[in-house]
Structure 1
Amino acid sequence: MSSRTKARKRALDILFSADVRGDALAVALAAEAKRAASEPEREASWLYAREIVDGVIDHGDEIDEQITTHSRDWKLDRMPTVDRSLLRIGTWELLWNDEVPTAVAIDEAVELAKDLSTDESGAFVHGVLARIARSN
């Protein structure tokens, strides 16, 4: 597993836990930063995970607007938490990280959805991110 794949999983953990607990994303990020300081062996995944979460914090309203616009009849608060978090990560990568090719951003989110969410989540995440990619 590449360090970026590990970083995406780590960012997903942060977004998911903040969402489930009702914590501010900045609070969850600070807690993970404290933990990361004691785990230098995981530094490679931490740096990109932090970049992702910072990006989601900085562009949260725009990201959620994109997801809502392109999710076709799915309200954000009705989506499984894992899917919502993956869509936020994927949308940030698609729209604000020029270093990640579109296909990679979508594929990584889809693979995590297949592994960690419902049977339909991979197709759902793919559809929403593909529509976002085409519209921008």
Structure 2
Amino acid sequence: MSARSKARKRALDLLYGADLRGLALDDAIATEAARALANPQRASSWGYARDIAQGVADHIDEIDTLISTYAQGWTIQRMPAVDRALLRMGIWEIVFNPEVPDPVAIAEAVGLATELSTEESSGFVNGLLARIAETKAQ
């Protein structure tokens, strides 16, 4: 698994955990940053995971608006928390991180959805992120 893939998984854990516990993302990021400082093995994947989590925190309103706009037939509250976290992460990479090619962001999110969420989640995540990437390209 690549360093960025590990970081994405770590960011997903952070976003998902904060969502389930009702924690502010900034508080969850601060807690995870302290863990990374205390444990050098965790520090290696923390840099990009922090970038993702902070990027989502900084743009959460815009990201959630995109999810609401493109999630046909689903409200943000109805979708599984892991899907919500994956979509937030994927949208941040597509819309706000020009260093990551859109197909990579989509493939990584779909891979995590396949591994960690429901049977239908990978198709849902793929379709929504692809629509956002297409819209961005126009």
> Which TM-score band applies after superposition, normalised by the shorter structure?
over 0.9
Aligned counterpart, 2:62: 62
Query: Which amino acid is 1:90 matched to?
Result: G
Q: Provide the residue aligned with 2:53 in structure 1.
A: 53
TM superposition shift of 1:45: 1.0
**What's 1:114 paired with?**
114
CA contact (8 A) 2:7 2:45 kept: yes
TM-score relative to the length of structure 2: 0.96
Aligned to 2:3: 3
Partner of 1:26: 26
Find the counterpart in structure 1 of residue 75 from structure 2. 75
The Cα shift of 1:42 comes to 3.0
Distance in 1 between residues matched to 2:44 and 2:124, nearest whole Å: 30
After superposing the two structures, state which structure 1 stretch, 123-132 or 35-44, moved more: 35-44
Residue 39 of structure 2 corresponds to 39
Matches of 2:101 and 2:118, distance apart in 1: 26
Whole-angstrom CA distance in 2 between matches of 1:13 and 1:73 = 26
Q: Quick one: which amino acid aligns to residue 54 of structure 1?
A: Q
3-state SS in 2 of match to 1:77:
coil
Q: Gaps (5+ residues) in structure 2?
A: none
Identify the residue that residue 84 of structure 1 maps to in structure 2.
84
Query: How many equivalent residue pairs?
Result: 136
Q: Is the 8 A contact 2:35 2:42 kept in 1?
A: no
What is the identity, as a one-letter code, of the residue corresponding to 2:81? Answer: T
CA root-mean-square deviation: 0.7
Looking at structure 1, the residues matched to 67 and 134 of structure 2 have their Cα atoms a distance apart, in angstroms, of 13
Alpha-carbon distance between aligned partners in 2 of 1:39 and 1:47, rounded to the nearest angstrom: 14
SS in structure 1 at match of 2:45? helix
Q: Structure 1: state its 5+ residue gaps.
A: none
Any runs of at least 4 consecutive aligned residues in structure 1 with deviations exceeding 6 A, and if so which?
none
CA distance in 2 between counterparts of 1:129 and 1:44 reads: 28
Amino acid at match of 1:63: I
CA contact (8 A) 2:67 2:87 kept: yes
